[in-house]
Amino acid sequence: MQFTAKQIGEFLNGTVEGDENAKVSTLSKIEDGAAGSLCFLSNPKYENYLYTTAASVVIVSQDFVATQPVKSTLVKVKDPYSAFSVLLDKYNEFANASENEVGIHSSSYVHPSAKIGKNVYIGPFCCIEENVEIGDGCKLNAQTFIGANSTLGKNCVLYPGVKIYKRSVLGNSVIIHSNTVIGSDGFGFAPQADGSYNKIAQIGNVVIEDDVEIGANTAIDRATMGSTFVRKGVKLDNLIQIAHNVEVGAHTVVAAQTGISGSTKLGSNSVIGGQVGIAGHLNLGNKTQIGAQAGINFDTEENKQWHGSPAQPLKEWMRSTVIFKKLPEVDKRVRELEAQIAALKTLVEKMTTTQTP
């Protein structure tokens, strides 16, 4: 399908600068823009591409002022990144319109006691155990497993290979990507006198609230007792470990390879970078921000930024980083001073010996 710059401007409540009849039929990155494509500019470091791109239409900020001639038609909006994400959603809807299948594939197993809503798709080789409830509009792609007594709300999308253990609860519009496991055993073992470990039964579950998206190969353990909670609007990247009885606060985002240990409560609207390690039984305040590869082993207050391992407040970490970079120079100077002190000691000793009667 084709759209004009004028149509895009009206859809996004933006203003058009240039040819309002310029047509686009595809989306692209600004550095790869070609005739007939639409792209956006939100990060200033990519501005140089605006003056060389062949894209027909570019979405920019409403206060953007070009410093060189621009060949493309500009659509000016309040927030280019958000506006482009809206267009990506619409483009994805058009692209996947032919994939709106419904029904149960003949190779899948659905227990007779399971309750399946309207317009549900269950793909090849899925397994739905007893007393499962699946809401209207859900899509379960190939090789999905839903354990006994689990519940899925409306319009959930589970990509191939997702495994949902028994008694798990998913809200509405939950998206889970391939090979993620929800409700696996919490990591609980009791040490014995002989040095061995006895497994502690994990009898709780996992509760995932509405509008959560979970990346591929992520694991969320069920609680020892009670529930592990992923609150409304949370976005989890790939390769994340959420341990038993953790609570991830609403609208929090967590980047790849982060691990959150058991019984920790992570506040709402927090931002966690990649490869962050968070110890167990902690309380992290709302709007906590943690930089990549940081290690947290203490409670945090609301609206604080942390970096480093062990983590420090942002300003302290920045000062420490400057000092750390200078350590080789400091080491060299210390060695030189030690040599000078040793030489002075030797000189003093010689002078003392010479002056002795």
Residue 96 has pLDDT above 90, yes or no: no
* Whole-angstrom Cα Rg for the chain: 29
Strands 73-77 and 15-17, by their bridges, are antiparallel
End-to-end Cα spacing for the chain:
106
Out of 133-137, 261-265, 291-295, 352-356, least confident range:
352-356
* Predicted structure pTM score: 0.78
The pLDDT score that the predictor gives to residue 356 is 56
Average pLDDT, the chain: 93
Residue 127 has pLDDT above 90, yes or no: yes
Confidence of residue 223 (pLDDT cuts 50, 70, 90): very high
327: number of Cβ within 10 Å: 9
- Structural contact between residues 46 and 93, judged by C-beta atoms closer than 8 angstroms: no
Rounded mean pLDDT, 223-244 = 98
Q: What is the C-alpha separation between 177 and 270, in angstroms, rounded? A: 22
Catalytic, 251? Answer no
Confidence of residue 357 (pLDDT cuts 50, 70, 90): low
Q: What is the pLDDT of residues 35-87, one digit of tens each?
A: 999 999 999 999 999 999 999 999 999 999 999 999 999 999 999 999 988 88
Q: Which residues are 236's β-sheet partners?
A: 214, 254
The pLDDT score that the predictor gives to residue 241 is 98
Q: Count of H helices and E strands in the chain?
A: 5, 40
- Structural contact between residues 173 and 155, judged by C-beta atoms closer than 8 angstroms: yes
* Active-site annotation holder among 244, 251, 281, 307: 244
Q: What is the pLDDT of residues 330-345, one digit of tens each?
A: 889 999 999 999 889 8
Strands 115-116 and 213-214, by their bridges, are unpaired
The pLDDT score that the predictor gives to residue 158 is 98
Contacts for 5-13 with beta carbons within 8 Å, 24 or more apart? Answer: 5/56, 5/57, 5/73, 5/75, 8/38, 8/57, 8/59, 8/75, 8/87, 9/75, 11/87, 12/59, 12/75, 12/77, 12/83, 12/86, 12/87, 13/77
Q: What is the C-alpha separation between 41 and 19, in angstroms, rounded? A: 18
Confidence of residue 314 (pLDDT cuts 50, 70, 90): confident
The pLDDT score that the predictor gives to residue 209 is 98
Sign of CA dihedral 226, 232, 235, 238: positive
20 vs 10, 51, 83, 134, CA distance in Å? Answer: 11, 19, 18, 46
Q: What is the C-alpha separation between 249 and 8, in angstroms, rounded? A: 36
